[in-house]
Structure 1
Amino acid sequence: MVTASPTRVAPRWEGLLLVCAAGVVWGTIGPAVALVGEYSDLPVLVMGAYRAVAAVAVMAVVVLAGRQVAGCRRLLRAHGGRAVAVGLLTAAFQMLFFVAVLATGVSVATVVAMGIPPVLLLVLHAVRDRRAPSPAQATTVGVALTGLVLVSLLGGGHAPGGETTTTGVLVALASGTSYALSAEVGAPLTQTYGAVPVATVTLSVVALALVPLGVVSSTVLGQQRTTDDPRVWSLLVYLGVVTMALAYVLLFAGLRTTPSGTVVVATLLEPVTAVLIAVAFLGETLTPAGVVGSALVLLAIASLGRQVEEPEPK
């Protein structure tokens, strides 16, 4: 087996900050998608397909410019199955979340899909290590989840968007589980091959899954596939280049030195950022509960720096 050259290990705070940056970038997805919906009739699956294509295109340029093609090849030869699994889990997370939003509304889907990963990984790690989570870990997750509920359900930054249904909640649970597992399965790859090769390979798998899905769904349902509005195309490029390519490079870079359980808590900055953008630019009002919730999420993330440990080799 060919092994990639060791890469520099970042300080623990650097990794955490990279993950937080990814969460902030992801927080802009909702407002951007809302604008695409306002300017066009493109369905979400078609948006996802265009987003994936833009992400892969920019990652290809980065790989060629940075001469990292060999690293991508080594990754595929040595751990192609794991990389494909991460890509499929990432695609499942994204598409299941869209379905959950349509089935049960933005608020409930966000709470369930973003709330289950920290709990799931806390339990999985406790079982793997055969020891209970520390009081600090349990408290951090509890505070973060409380903040998430306050921000998403009572914060005022999201419209209800639908009725809560059992099916929608189950789909949101599946979405959150896919996200948690993608972080857990992908972490060992980043420690050996670096963020750019891992992001390039996994996002290519995402595109291979989402593009056919977007084409088939739009054909079967007779939905719009394209638009002549330049604002829509610029937003789709932004969604692919920034909220997918850049965000996943940041995420995988952070995973090199940050445990997956910590990562999924840190990315709860996503709903907080989305609420703040809605308040600042979309004319929505932040309720007192939203203020408290945002503060709790930030407090939980701030406490993570004291708990971050170097990930054990796997």
Structure 2
Amino acid sequence: MKWPYLWIAGGAALWGTIGIFIKELSSMGFTPIQIVVLRALSAAVSFFILTFFLNRSLLKIRIRDSYYFIGTGLLSIAFFNWCYFKSMEEVSLSVAAVLLYTAPAFVLILSRIFFRDFITKKKVAALLVTFLGCVFVVGYLPASNGGITWTGLLTGLGSGLGYSLYSIFGKAASAKYKTLTITTYTFIFAGCALFPISGLSHSAHLFEDTRVWLYIIGLGIVPTVLAYILYTVGLRQVEPSKAAIVATVEPVVATLAGFFLFQEKLTLWQCAGILLVIFSAVLVQDKQKKTPLDNGASLT
């Protein structure tokens, strides 16, 4: 397996650990949107400090290039999370998760429009296998048990679209900026956009618990800083449509984490779904020449 695919899969695997931190912070009294903001702000601070000490020149961006980070931060991170949580209010968690993983389809279409990537039979086959695998992994099929409202459907598809936009804007930004620059400003923009609507100012008393800070730091570093660095580095050398398909190992890792850490049940259908997702991630890999956008995988 090529290194870029491993980096993407590694980043997605770290995203899959986010449930560990969400469960703990939720039990401490934080709402879902507050956890999203804590993640964004913690990551923004961590990325800023890391970039400042490694190469502070990477903190310089052109004002006219801000649309890259409006894309990755606001249109992707902020919009995707708002849609995802709104969808979860309208439909079951499993249905919301399935709708979220329509993201590779959006990436496939948008990559054709903006990067002129070819829509091959292999990509379409991998996309279908991936979606079916995700449906099995989240447990929605074969035992369907959730109704779908129009609001739930549209916000669910919106979460998939928002999720896909990171690959599109991140790929475009990688032609001009290094990984740390992209990820730092992504979370600065996302954090600033979401904080005013989070209600965190009314939950100041929750921060008196030392464990809260440990989980916030962990949430900001493990499934965020490290995950986005790995994914963005890999994205430099892989077509966005292929990266999005490989990244669907995330629900697989989340399911396995629930099984091993929280004693959640793992059904035969979920096992089949895991194998399908892994198969699709392998299917999209092939030998390809480097593109002009491939300007190295260096962080700095």
Same fold (TM over 0.5): yes
TM-score by length of 2: 0.87
* Identity among equivalent pairs (%): 24
Q: Which of residues 102, 105, 119 in structure 1 aligns to 2:105?
A: 119
Partner residue, 1:194: 178
Residue-pair matches, total: 291
Q: Which of residues 178, 197, 207 in structure 2 aligns to 1:213?
A: 197
Pairs within 5 Å for 1:79-158:
79-89=65-75, 90-114=77-101, 116-126=102-112, 133-154=119-140
Partner residue, 1:290: 270
Whether the aligned pair in 2 keeps the contact of 1:199 and 1:248 (CA below 8 Å) is yes
**Does residue 176 in structure 1 map to residue 160 in structure 2?**
yes
d(CA) in 2 for partners of 1:225, 1:166 = 38
d(CA) in 1 for partners of 2:114, 2:34 = 39
2:70 aligned partner, one-letter code: V
| Pair 1:213–1:253, CA change in 2 (3 A) | same
d(CA) in 2 for partners of 1:129, 1:93 = 22
| Pair 1:34–1:84, CA change in 2 (3 A) | same
d(CA) in 2 for partners of 1:196, 1:122 = 25
3-state DSSP of counterpart to 2:79: helix
Unaligned 5+ runs, structure 1: 1-11
Whether the aligned pair in 1 keeps the contact of 2:14 and 2:227 (CA below 8 Å) is yes
2:284 aligned partner, one-letter code: L
Partner residue, 1:9: none
Whether the aligned pair in 2 keeps the contact of 1:147 and 1:293 (CA below 8 Å) is yes
Partner residue, 2:251: 271
2:24 aligned partner, one-letter code: L
3-state DSSP of counterpart to 2:154: helix
| Pair 1:313–1:51, CA change in 2 (3 A) | closer
Pairs within 5 Å for 1:27-38:
27-38=16-27
1:170 aligned partner, one-letter code: L
Partner residue, 1:4: none
**Deviation for aligned residue 1:311:** 4.2
| Pair 1:225–1:167, CA change in 2 (3 A) | farther
| Pair 1:101–1:124, CA change in 2 (3 A) | same
d(CA) in 1 for partners of 2:246, 2:280 = 8
